[in-house]
Amino acid sequence: MTPALFLFIISFICAMLCSIFIYATCYWLSEHKVEVNYLLISWNMFKYLQLYKQLTKRDYGKAGSLYYLSYIFFLLTFVSFIGAIVAKIIAL
């Protein structure tokens, strides 16, 4: 398995986990009577995460764990995807 393929697989897995955490965040928001447009979650992802952070800080005194998990996996997706592209270019 080439490093580029490995990084693409890692990127895909991280993107799926990020999507799961974003949907969980939106579900939490909809449970707390915030209107969520599930069809356009990808366009409003950061808006929903900021809203989730504000509401959990107000209710619990700190940002919720879904906020951090979503951002961590989003950044891991981005870094591994860029790494895979660089590894593919170097391999050429």
Domain ranges of the chain: 3-91
> pLDDT tens digits for 3-47?
999 999 999 999 999 999 999 999 999 999 999 998 888 899 999
Rounded CA separation 36/27 (Å): 8
Rounded CA separation 79/68 (Å): 16
Tell me what the pLDDT averaged over the chain comes to.
Answer: 94
> pLDDT tens digits for 40-70?
888 999 999 999 999 999 999 999 999 999 9
